Structure 1
């Protein structure tokens, strides 16, 4: 099966990072909206009545969605789905308005779980989960759960992912072989040794797109390694008492600065965007490239069997980690006219057929079970890495998503200042926490 390339773009990657860009401002949860005039008894039998569902998502995911919709309609010929899409650069801000409208879609991408639940604009999916027997890994649903006190991270389920987007470390096997490196780094120490070997040989160790905050990917891996998965995830979901001002956060910042000073990163890192970094890495200009799974098709096409992927290595072997979240997280707005039919679509997202469609579009699938097949050898490595991470549970959401303004107001300027030396590692850590406290409630 061929991998669809249209979603393997920077836009798709940006959407993946931003799909929960407002994990902030939690409020009291609710299972329904008072304005909803159509309360359906929960049922999994949707095969009789002819129904037209409306679905809303971002335009960058149209190809993926169209394939899911076609397969669903084949299974349920009595149900049709009419999809509408917003431009990717406006879907984030439009999301809350879309799901709260009187004529809301039946299925919608949830861009801000906090305001959606606080405003009573989403259906509580617990009864559907019981009826269908959903068994999704906690790592894939934690940020879509809200408890009775309005806190993210546990409680009732309000959205279901259609696929997973994750970060990791690409590596050029051909260049590695020229340097005498025969296998991917298994630990942070191995990674450092490999980068030193590349630099000593006059080769670029790591392509670093710092212009758009790409440094956060490798930094978050170090942070997770030093602090542990739960500490990082608790900060992202704003658990009481969570703070960024930790020894691990400082140690990770110092490590990034040390690598910058050692010349391991691109000399023009501060001006390097993701698409340019992708092009250069695909041309064989660096040993490593920390980025996201959304680039697998492009890199596989360019480097073929010379392209490798691993989860970010930890302090010890087999302790790798990754940042990961939904490609789109679909929920059912409280004002949806056809909730049972919409729930059938959410259930379909977890089927073997939908999992295969996710892989065909370059994404690790939701749920557990046999890994779908792919003829993209690089994506195959991503799927294997993710399958292992699901078992260990060593994934978090993106630190960029901790608050709505974190990426633009703290992550991007903070890492640039850390790299150019205008901020010390401690000042960098303080700046991230300051933005967090400014927004978190």
Structure 2
């Protein structure tokens, strides 16, 4: 199974793989019958609660008293309690009670709970594929049809919740909701950006490179990064998403048949990174710099750009507040698609043994509303609550929160959510760090690096 990238919020706070989805406008409640009118086991607590594939579902449950249990990791307790409170404020008849587990125990305890008679209703499983294979999770296709999630949510956002018999990324929906998560993009020092004359968001990779060339010419290090821990990988993943396209990168992470990294597009992405290395856009000792040191360098004004995730706003020196901004990685070509990695905190599964499936599905639908998006934003995440296709262009103006929201919306509008290559297999993460260090030191060429990563990936999949 894919592993969570170690520096994303999920890795930092909970260790769970949290998938991307999109918050949209809520659907109106109605009684929807797909096979028969309100069949037993459809969520009313009528006895057949272990049914994994409901066919008849009821969306008009907001007036029926129920208590849902949400299994939460301690690191997300405040955030998820906020969601629970907002849901109950909207639907007073339905209470949501959190059952909180220590972060480091969550993944171990969850499968046992899902198989028990005291299962929680709502969970975020690390091993989604295993949960489906073991008949522990509810097939959400009927609810998807009833609430129209597939019409509201970009395919790239729902894909990580789809499961076939052997892979994630296609098939029936087993995890859904809204979208909230980090924006991984281009952080910039406002003072240095002004010095090099950057007055608008670069619209292409070449435009971004031109700004870096100006910075280098003025004696400013263009890119702050840490590569002792392979975190140039943030930039590399953004380039892969740009050149390959978000879906092809996600297909690798989700182990889709015939997915491969060994493509001309991946080589082009690697060549671009190599070009920037050779141009001196990184500090000469970047292979010796760790993540903590890179934070200090960025806040210390030691470089113009920092390719990172919006979780860093909680870590950067408080004295640096207001002195930096962020925009999404620009596309390769003018007018091209934005792409970027995210890990979702608004996607949940419903336990197969849940006694309240219909009420739990109403909670999932609530996560597509502006009320849920506000809770996410208030807790430091990016989130969307409107039509993803109508997103405006990223800008250097506005608050940091505005910029994060705009960048996230731009990626959503282009259906460009993807994940980290490292999440495809643990061995790939280890090998990628090694290869990035070799690329920086000039000891590997792009085509050879891509082939090595593909071989590592193929071997990992074969042996999984």
Aligned mates of 1:84, 1:292 — CA distance in 2: 29
393, 406, 409: which is aligned to 1:384?
406
107, 112, 129: which is aligned to 1:114?
129
| Equivalent position of 2:258 in the other structure | 241
384, 387, 395: which is aligned to 1:369?
387
280, 289, 294: which is aligned to 2:306?
289
Any conservation in 1 of the 2:9–2:182 contact (CA below 8 Å)?
no
| Equivalent position of 1:51 in the other structure | 66
1:276 offset after TM fit, Å? 3.7
List per-residue Cα deviations over 1:251-281 (Å, max 9, x = no partner): 3223323322332223443343434423432
> Equivalent residue of 2:57, what SS?
coil
347, 364, 370: which is aligned to 1:352?
370
Aligned mates of 2:198, 2:19 — CA distance in 1: 41
> Equivalent residue of 2:343, what SS?
strand
139, 144, 147: which is aligned to 1:132?
147
- Listed as ranges, the gaps of 5+ residues in structure 1 are 1-8, 24-30
Aligned mates of 2:14, 2:222 — CA distance in 1: 25
Aligned mates of 1:142, 1:193 — CA distance in 2: 35
CA shift in 2, pair 1:97/1:198, >3 Å: farther
List per-residue Cα deviations over 1:176-209 (Å, max 9, x = no partner): 2123333333222222222232233332211112
CA shift in 2, pair 1:306/1:203, >3 Å: same
Any conservation in 2 of the 1:17–1:401 contact (CA below 8 Å)?
no
Any conservation in 1 of the 2:19–2:342 contact (CA below 8 Å)?
no
> Equivalent residue of 2:81, what SS?
helix
1:334 offset after TM fit, Å? 1.1
> Equivalent residue of 2:183, what SS?
strand
CA shift in 2, pair 1:403/1:92, >3 Å: farther
List per-residue Cα deviations over 1:356-380 (Å, max 9, x = no partner): 1112222222563388xxx981121
CA shift in 2, pair 1:282/1:107, >3 Å: same
Higher mean displacement: 395-404 or 43-52: 43-52
| Equivalent position of 1:191 in the other structure | 208
CA shift in 2, pair 1:179/1:322, >3 Å: same
Aligned mates of 1:417, 1:90 — CA distance in 2: 36
Any conservation in 2 of the 1:50–1:78 contact (CA below 8 Å)?
yes
| Equivalent position of 1:165 in the other structure | 182
How many residues matched?
420
Any conservation in 2 of the 1:19–1:326 contact (CA below 8 Å)?
no
Aligned mates of 1:188, 1:209 — CA distance in 2: 21
> Equivalent residue of 1:309, what SS?
strand
> Equivalent residue of 1:440, what SS?
helix
**2:428 is the alignment partner of 1:406:** yes
Aligned mates of 2:381, 2:173 — CA distance in 1: 22
1:158 offset after TM fit, Å? 0.9
**2:359 is the alignment partner of 1:341:** yes
What's the RMSD between the two structures over aligned residues? 3.4
CA shift in 2, pair 1:217/1:18, >3 Å: farther
59, 64, 83: which is aligned to 1:68?
83
So what's the TM-score if we normalise by structure 1?
0.83
CA shift in 2, pair 1:168/1:16, >3 Å: farther
| Equivalent position of 2:24 in the other structure | none
Any conservation in 2 of the 1:52–1:80 contact (CA below 8 Å)?
yes
| Equivalent position of 2:3 in the other structure | none
1:47 offset after TM fit, Å? 4.1
CA shift in 2, pair 1:309/1:131, >3 Å: same
CA shift in 2, pair 1:419/1:152, >3 Å: same
Aligned mates of 2:343, 2:80 — CA distance in 1: 17
> Equivalent residue of 2:257, what SS?
coil
| Equivalent position of 1:254 in the other structure | 271
CA shift in 2, pair 1:357/1:240, >3 Å: same
Aligned mates of 1:161, 1:274 — CA distance in 2: 32
| Equivalent position of 2:453 in the other structure | 432
Aligned mates of 1:352, 1:302 — CA distance in 2: 32
> Equivalent residue of 2:451, what SS?
helix
Aligned mates of 1:376, 1:183 — CA distance in 2: 12
**2:172 is the alignment partner of 1:144:** no
1:400 offset after TM fit, Å? 2.1
